[in-house]
């Protein structure tokens, strides 16, 4: 029965989506971990829901594209708005983000009762990777490629910006543009995983892989590539395991990534809680 | 971000490379942090910036490094005006300004020093690798190169940032309170190191708050309190009356 499942095109499409979303979001999770703003990722992902609601309200129908565009619009408004408001240095980015995202969420709650497709919105909360169509796969593939290409091309200025923004600025790196770029790509990554794991669980895909890697190594590039591998393999294996175990694939992906994180937290050779520490001689 | 000049160590030249600062003013919003400060010094010197809290020591270092915009004034390095930033200047931040938990190794940090040469895309050549190896070697960081930067002692952390400056082939090292928080041994080690780096022809400018040790660690001193109070050889400038005058001046506003 399992082999039958594997040979079906829809299941293959599911596996391909899981592997690709897992890799892209796992790769990008390196930036989330370096920016130390995992909580704001969570805020952004919740912003997408009212965005979808708004999209449906404006166009009158629930389709992939207007949901995507609505989510992107809301997340961009809130995300970039938070960066812009905190530019004045009077208000911290976390503060402005919290203000804008709760306001957006409240607007979403206000719009919800006016929609006729309310039940279907739950699908957007937790995703349904088994239902991915060719359009979804294309969206995932294009967004993923854009993210991977852009981050790899701009890796050095991005790292400089994240580590020492003032030094980066002095060296001619357009720091502000880099910050907007990371934020914009974060939103793209969230939107790309909407269909698979929904806007709530997508946070797990965008934080956990690199967080796990950061427990295993101190090398910066490993955060990205290691995060990509953990995300890609983790998501694929979770989808394969989900049907024998009778769990929905979306939650299975995030649960498996969480288990890997806890294993690294406990047993990492260097930072593991349960691994005896060597007393370092060189550390004075 | 490109610089026209290649690396040629000052010590090999008959004439000294001069750093001239003329009428440098910096303001944060409407508050003047530096008021028309001028000084001239050259390669091979170690210059201490002293003055009370909020005197503008950090601001001066950052202004030279191009990290804060100038309101007016000029910075001339080897006779050429430095518009915003020069690859030959390296700024070493104060300890508390560094994100020590950033997942980066000592080697990764030193490699960042090559970014101005490699630009955004060119991959590391054997020259870049050699520069990184030599910088690690000269600061005795070979055994520590795979350490995460938080897993270093205070003195080792200073050396890691110095190694990055060396890898960058910087001539002018701008250090913000490098001796703060170091234990005695580490401070002595860093003092020797700065002497060696100056001996190789680099110019060292560092803010320093411990006046007692300044004559041992530096050649020249700039006494600063928003304006320039005095500048010259450390032995003639750090007289007790001048110091008393400077540090007795109430600092109107602390904004650094």
Residue-wise pLDDT for B193-209, tens only, equals: 999 999 999 999 999 98
Same domain, B127 and B163: yes
Assess if residue B196 is contained within a domain: no
The pLDDT value recorded for residue A111 is: 79
Residue with tokens 């930033």: B85
The pLDDT value recorded for residue B202 is: 93
Indicate the residue of B1, B105, B185 with minimum beta-carbon distance to A171.
B1
Q: What is the ipTM of this complex?
A: 0.79
Say if CB A28 and CB A185 are below 8 A apart. yes
Say if CB A27 and CB A220 are below 8 A apart. no
Same domain, B233 and B210: yes
The pLDDT value recorded for residue A230 is: 97
Assess if residue A272 is contained within a domain: no
B113 in A contact zone (CB under 8 Å): no
Say if CB A101 and CB A75 are below 8 A apart. no
- In percent, the amount of chain A with pLDDT more than 90 equals 31
Assess if residue B6 is contained within a domain: no
B121 contacts in A (CB within 8 Å)?
Answer: 153, 156
The pLDDT value recorded for residue B148 is: 92
Q: Among A105-114, A135-144, A263-272, which stretch is predicted with the lowest mean pLDDT?
A: A105-114
Over range B139-157, report the average pLDDT.
91
CA-to-CA dists, residue A29 to A12, A39, A275, B225, angstroms: 25, 13, 26, 46
A173 contacts in B (CB within 8 Å)?
Answer: 1
**If we measure between CA atoms, which residue out of B72, B74, B62 comes closest to residue B25?**
B72
Residue A84's domain comprises: 2-267
CA-based nearest residue in chain B for residue A284? B153
| Contacts with A177 (C-beta within 8 Å, 6 or more apart), sequence order | none
**If we measure between CA atoms, which residue out of A114, A117, A74 comes closest to residue A97?**
A74
| Contacts with B151 (C-beta within 8 Å, 6 or more apart), sequence order | A280, A283
Assess if residue B187 is contained within a domain: no
Higher pLDDT, A15 or B4: A15
pLDDT value at B5 more than 80: no
Spatial distance between the Cα atoms of A122 and A86, rounded to a whole number of angstroms = 33
Confidence of residue B11 (pLDDT cuts 50, 70, 90): very low
Say if CB B124 and CB B83 are below 8 A apart. no
Assess if residue B156 is contained within a domain: yes
Assess if residue A279 is contained within a domain: no
Assess if residue A6 is contained within a domain: yes
Is A164 in Cβ contact with B93 (below 8 Å)? yes
B216: β partners: none
Assess if residue A277 is contained within a domain: no
What CATH number does residue A19 fall under?
1.10.3470.10
Question: How buried is A1 (Cβ within 10 angstroms: 0-12 exposed, 13-18 middle, 19+ buried)?
Answer: exposed
A274 in B contact zone (CB under 8 Å): no
Residue B104's domain comprises: 95-170
Higher pLDDT, A16 or A270: A16
pLDDT value at B105 more than 90: yes
B256 contacts in A (CB within 8 Å)?
Answer: none
Looking at chain A, list the stretches that DSSP marks H as alpha helix, in order from N- to C-terminal side.
Answer: 2-7, 9-35, 38-59, 64-85, 93-111, 118-126, 134-153, 155-163, 165-170, 175-192, 194-214, 220-245, 249-267
Is A34 in Cβ contact with B102 (below 8 Å)? yes
**If we measure between CA atoms, which residue out of B94, B38, B100 comes closest to residue B62?**
B94
> Tens digit of pLDDT for each residue in A148-184?
999 999 999 999 999 988 888 888 889 889 988 888 8
Query: What is the C-alpha end-to-end distance of chain A, expressed in Å?
Result: 61
Number of compact structural domains in chain B: 2
**If we measure between CA atoms, which residue out of B40, B26, B126 comes closest to residue B79?**
B40
CA-based nearest residue in chain B for residue A88? B29
Assess if residue B4 is contained within a domain: no
Indicate the residue of B103, B120, B148 with minimum beta-carbon distance to A154.
B120
Number of compact structural domains in chain A: 1
Indicate the residue of A154, A159, A282 with minimum beta-carbon distance to B144.
A282
A282 contacts in B (CB within 8 Å)?
Answer: 143-144, 147
Same domain, B113 and B66: no
Confidence of residue B2 (pLDDT cuts 50, 70, 90): very low
Is B67 in Cβ contact with A160 (below 8 Å)? no
What CATH number does residue B35 fall under?
3.40.50.300
Same domain, B209 and B82: yes
**If we measure between CA atoms, which residue out of A170, A36, A175 comes closest to residue B100?**
A36
Beta strand extents in B101-243 (DSSP E only)? 172-175, 203-207, 220-225, 227-233
- In percent, the amount of chain A with pLDDT more than 70 equals 93
Same domain, B127 and B104: yes
Assess if residue B194 is contained within a domain: no
Per-residue DSSP letter, B15: S
**Token pair for residue A14?**
């599911």
Q: In what order do the strands lie in the sheet with B227-233?
A: B89-92, B172-175, B203-207, B46-50, B220-225, B227-233
B91 contacts in A (CB within 8 Å)?
Answer: 167, 170
Is B155 in Cβ contact with A284 (below 8 Å)? yes
CA-based nearest residue in chain B for residue A172? B1
CA-based nearest residue in chain B for residue A224? B103
pLDDT value at B1 more than 80: no
Confidence of residue B14 (pLDDT cuts 50, 70, 90): very low
Indicate the residue of B66, B108, B151 with minimum beta-carbon distance to A170.
B66
- In percent, the amount of chain B with pLDDT more than 90 equals 51
Residues in chain A: 284
The pLDDT value recorded for residue B220 is: 93
Radius of gyration (C-alpha) of chain A in whole angstroms = 20
């Amino acid at each position: 029965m399992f082999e039958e499942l594997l040979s079906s095109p829809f299941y293959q499409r599911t596996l391909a989506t899981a592997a690709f979303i897992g890799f892209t979001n796992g790769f990008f999770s390196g930036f989330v971990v370096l920016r130390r703003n995992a909580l704001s990722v969570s805020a952004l992902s919740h912003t997408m829901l009212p965005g979808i609601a708004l999209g449906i309200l404006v166009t009158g129908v629930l389709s992939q594209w207007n949901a995507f565009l609505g989510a992107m619009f809301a997340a961009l408004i809130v995300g970039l708005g938070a960066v812009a408001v905190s530019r004045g240095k009077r208000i911290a980015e976390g503060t402005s983000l919290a203000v804008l995202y709760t306001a957006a969420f409240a607007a979403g709650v206000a719009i919800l009762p006016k929609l006729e497709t309310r039940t279907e919105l739950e699908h957007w909360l937790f995703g349904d990777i088994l239902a991915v169509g060719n359009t979804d796969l294309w969206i995932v593939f294009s967004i993923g490629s854009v993210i991977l290409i852009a981050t790899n091309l701009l890796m050095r200025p991005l790292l400089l910006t994240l580590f020492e923004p003032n030094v980066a600025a002095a060296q001619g790196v357009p720091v502000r543009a880099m910050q907007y770029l990371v934020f914009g790509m974060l939103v793209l990554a969230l939107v790309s995983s909407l269909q698979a794991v929904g806007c709530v669980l997508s946070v797990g895909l965008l934080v956990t892989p690199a967080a796990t890697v950061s427990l295993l190594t101190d090398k910066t590039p490993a955060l990205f590539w290691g995060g990509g591998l953990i995300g890609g393999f983790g998501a694929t294996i979770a989808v394969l395991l989900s049907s024998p175990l009778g769990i929905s694939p979306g939650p299975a992906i995030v649960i498996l990534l969480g288990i890997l994180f806890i294993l690294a937290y406990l047993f990492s050779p260097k930072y593991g809680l349960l691994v005896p520490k060597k007393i370092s001689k060189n550390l004075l | 971000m490109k610089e026209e000049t290649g690396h040629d160590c000052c010590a090999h030249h008959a004439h000294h490379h001069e750093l001239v600062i003329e009428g440098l003013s910096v303001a944060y919003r409407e508050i003047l942090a530096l008021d028309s400060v001028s000084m001239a010094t050259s390669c091979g010197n170690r210059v201490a910036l002293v003055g009370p809290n909020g005197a503008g020591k950090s601001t001066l270092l950052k202004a030279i490094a191009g990290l804060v915009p100038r309101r007016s004034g000029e910075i001339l390095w080897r006779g050429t005006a430095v518009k915003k930033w020069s690859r030959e200047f390296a700024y070493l931040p104060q300890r508390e300004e560094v994100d020590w938990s950033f997942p980066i190794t000592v080697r990764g940090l030193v490699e960042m020093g090559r970014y101005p040469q490699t630009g955004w895309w060119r991959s590391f050549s054997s020259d870049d690798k050699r520069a990184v190896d030599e910088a690690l070697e000269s600061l005795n960081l070979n055994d520590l190169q795979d350490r995460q930067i938080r897993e270093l002692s205070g003195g080792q952390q200073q050396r890691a940032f110095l190694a990055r400056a060396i890898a960058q082939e910087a001539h002018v090292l701008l250090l913000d309170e490098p001796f703060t928080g170091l234990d005695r041994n580490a401070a002595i080690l860093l003092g020797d190191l700065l002497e060696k780096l100056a001996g190789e022809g680099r110019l060292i400018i560092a803010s320093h708050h411990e006046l007692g040790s300044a004559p041992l660690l530096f050649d020249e001193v700039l006494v600063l309190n928003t304006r320039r109070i005095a500048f010259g050889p450390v032995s003639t400038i750090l007289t007790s009356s001048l110091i008393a005058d400077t540090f007795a001046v109430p600092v109107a506003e602390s904004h650094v």
